[in-house]
Chains A and B, each alone.
Chain A
Amino acid sequence: MTEKSPKKEKIPRQPMPEQDPQIRKRNFEEVPLGYTKELAVKEAERCLHCKNPSCMEGCPVSVDIPGFIKNIKEGEFSKAVRKIWERNALPAVCGRVCPQEIQCEGRCILGRKGDPVAIGNLEKFVADMEREHGNGELPPKSDPTGKRIAVVGSGPSGLTVAGDLILKGHEVTIFEAFHKPGGVLVYGIPEFRLPKEIVYSEVNTLEKLGVKVECNTVVGKTVSLDELFEQGYDAIYVGVGAGLPRFLNIPGENLTGIYSANEYLTRANLMKAYLFPEYDTPIVRGKDVVVFGAGNVTMDSARTAMRLGADRVRIVYRRSRDEMPARSAEIHHAEEEGIEFLLLTAPTRFLGDENGRLTGVECLQMKLGEPDESGRRRPIPIEGSESKLECDMAVIAVGAGANPLLTKSTEDLKINKWGYIVADLETGKTRKKGVWAGGDIVTGQATVILAMGAGRKASDSIHQYLTWGW
């Protein structure tokens, strides 16, 4: 009997090596370990190099994805990262936190019948190679224009604007309210998902290019937008983020042991409270923790609580699994680490002891009705379904609103009824001459890459303005 030679086997998507869930759930080290060179090249070989690459259409900053993947295939890792830099100053960040499954990878043609190319993993790989082994060669800068730009906020959109405009020959100063730059990348996203050293390294690259970073400057308080113009800045980009925590507005919310996600994560990440008492900022180490919400920040909070020694962490969400806004990878990681999900459950009241410490939360069961204005099915309480969950710590991670600090001090900066800055979505131009805005303070809470996309559009518009006028 003769056998036909088997068809050339397709290369499967190369899985990302990860820390074992049972080990990682008690440490703050990064979960994915990263591709080796071999894995990266093998994964890159899967790319079909489509003539009209739809992956690029899915990228808010239009990175030349097939281009950098081709570089990887050829072993030209340094070229690959420079290809990404043409459109994206923060590949080490984006490779880690972008929702690739609904962007580039979601459009990959291979995904129609199987698994898409692991674009995010490859981006992370080349950015890490460059940071650890690169030649440090910086991208070329245009001749100095003598124009000065103030960037307010050092989160993803501010860093993008700074990176773009410094390369075009302008002088750029970033003003940051916190004592360290990076915005949500350092106060919000945990170490195990985005090591802070990576953010500082990206900021450091911008500084090498000539960007000045002024921390401890609360624009709106320490200095106003108009005073920045008086100081000689020609244009201002406002990318201060959403930055106003939402609470549940139910009784007992001010008991001790209840945190907003912003506070909990800022203590743990920026202030390094997980290293207390080596670091001075304390944090409650809950044993029985409840986290409200279902977004990426909810997953981050729950996984942080687990790493801080909780015996049990439960995520409480009033809708069902299908409506959860978090990335599927984050939900999967949380489940692997033993986080429990209580779906169709809504809190009605917090309970505390005589010292004002949290002891539990009363909840109601919900069922789903017709879709609401968000397009998701509206949760409806089921009468008589009250139950009590015991807990000694709770984190409220149900989103953020617009922080009023800057807009309150700038009367001619038009805001909408929710407090977000009114800006042209194509250019980022606000109603105040010489001022652009983008990211969460315009759109409401969104993702890192969308903020970067807004920054990219604004920097193009600012450059045009500095060259041609308003």
Chain B
Amino acid sequence: MFEILERQDMADGTVVLNEISAPLIAKKAKPGQFVILKANETGERIPLTMADTDPNKGTITIIYQIVGKSTALFKSLQVGERFQDVIGPLGEPTHIEKLGTVVCVGGGTGVAVLHPITRGMKKIGNHVIAIIGARNKDLLILEDKMKTASNELHVCTDDGSYGHHGFVTDVLKDVLEKEAVKLVVAIGPVPMMKFVCSVTKKYKVKTLVSLNPIMVDGTGMCGCCRVSVGGKTRFACIDGPEFNGHEVDFDELMQRLQAYKEQESVAYEKYLHE
């Protein structure tokens, strides 16, 4: 189990796609749910929201950015090699329903998580406007897939090397001015989700975000992934990972994501030198 069947470098090698054999998970998983992966005996448990599943083939797909030792270790695994452990599907699936016009906003590898949700939203009959962004053209992922999954796609780059020059929130504002949007789904780096929410709050449009706090077990047992939502502590692993973005304390989430910054760089440096 957990053999890598497909592997692809994306975004200039900063992002990797793995299609992994995990028949039990593939059969059960729904858009928005995540898995926890551990590369080897000494490895760390890393939560990643699934980018796709193929129940017939018995595979799940993950797309991740290389940010430290654990993801670098994942990247080193070749086709035919295995993850030692994959656990899932975890978390609550996205509530996909017909609402009217839905805007899906994605940044960085968040686009990978957004893709199956976008596809599902369109399939059920929504008019789906997708807005995706990256720092520059080379770092943009899944443009073609997002085009197919949506009715209308806008691409943004921070440096203007491709598509709209600027942030996803610029385009989002334009869309919200023109259209009667029922729901915004925003998945990406925490600052992006925070800014999207401050925009949609003004327009009073319900906004779902998918959170990525640090986790250990992913089954509600440890409370590591606790986030403040509407002034209450919730566990992203069992209550989430999706929450009403207007209620999330993003600043606290950013601070909690920094909890092991020093240890993470120690481990990464050591790994790069070995």
Contact = CB atoms under 8 A, between A and B. Distances in A.
Interface of A: 177-179, 215-218, 221-223, 243-245, 247, 249, 253-257, 259-260, 262-263, 266-267, 271-272, 276-282, 284, 355-357, 403-405
Given A263-B216, A263-B222, 7 more contacts: A245-B221, A256-B259, A266-B221, A280-B43, A356-B252, A357-B255, A405-B219
Interface in B34-62: 38, 42-45
Indicate the size class of the contact surface on chain B.
35 or more
Contacts of A279: 42
Contacts of B270: 277
B134 interface: no
A360 to B, nearest CB: 17
B217 A177 contact: yes
B89 interface: yes
Nearest to B255: A356
Nearest to A262: B222
Contacts of B86: 216
B166 interface: no
B113 to A, nearest CB: 18
Interface stretch (B5-13, B177-185, B261-269): B261-269
Given A177-B219, A218-B87, A244-B220, A405 B70 contact: no
17 contacts: A177-B87, A179-B45, A179-B85, A221-B88, A222-B25, A244-B220, A245-B221, A256-B256, A257-B259, A262-B222, A263-B223, A280-B42, A280-B70, A281-B45, A356-B258, A403-B220, A404-B220
A377 B217 CA distance: 36
Interface string B238-274: 1000000000000010011011100110110010000
B228 interface: yes
Nearest to B238: A405
A243 B221 contact: yes
A254 B222 contact: no
Contacts of A254: 226-228, 233, 252, 256
Interface of B: 24-25, 28, 38, 42-45, 69-70, 73, 84-90, 216-217, 219-224, 226-228, 233, 238, 252, 255-256, 258-260, 263-264, 266-267, 270
A276 B219 CA distance: 24
A405 B260 CA distance: 28
Given A221-B28, A277-B266, A262 B223 contact: yes
A280 B267 contact: yes
Interface SS of A by simple majority: loop
The 5 residue pairs across chains A and B that have the minimum distance between CB atoms? A356-B255, A282-B263, A263-B222, A280-B44, A179-B85
B232 to A, nearest CB: 10
B88 A244 contact: no
B45 to A, nearest CB: 7
A179 B41 CA distance: 10
A348 B11 CA distance: 48
B223 A216 contact: no
Contacts of B84: 179
Contacts of B220: 243-244, 403-405
B260 A247 contact: no
Contacts of B87: 177, 179, 216, 218, 222
A253 B233 contact: yes
A158 to B, nearest CB: 15
B216 to A, nearest CB: 5
Contacts of A215: 85
A282 B222 contact: no
A267 B215 CA distance: 11
Best-buried of B85, B216, B227 by chain A (most CB within 10 Å): B216
Nearest to A215: B85
B158 to A, nearest CB: 26
Contacts of B260: 282, 284
Contacts of A255: 255
A284 B267 contact: no
Contact of B216 (A249, A253, A266): A266
Q: Which of A245, A249, A253 has the most CB of B within 10 A?
A: A245
Contact of A260 (B43, B223, B259, B267): B223
A282 B264 contact: yes
Nearest to A285: B263
A222 B88 CA distance: 6
B258 to A, nearest CB: 7
A278 B271 CA distance: 10
Contacts of A276: 263, 267
Contact of A221 (B69, B70, B90): B90
B223 A245 contact: yes
B233 A262 contact: no
Contacts of B38: 179
Contact of A403 (B221, B226, B256): B221
Contacts of B227: 254
Contacts of A243: 219-221
A216 B90 contact: no
Nearest to B40: A280
Contacts of B259: 256-257, 284
A257 B219 CA distance: 21
A256 B85 contact: no
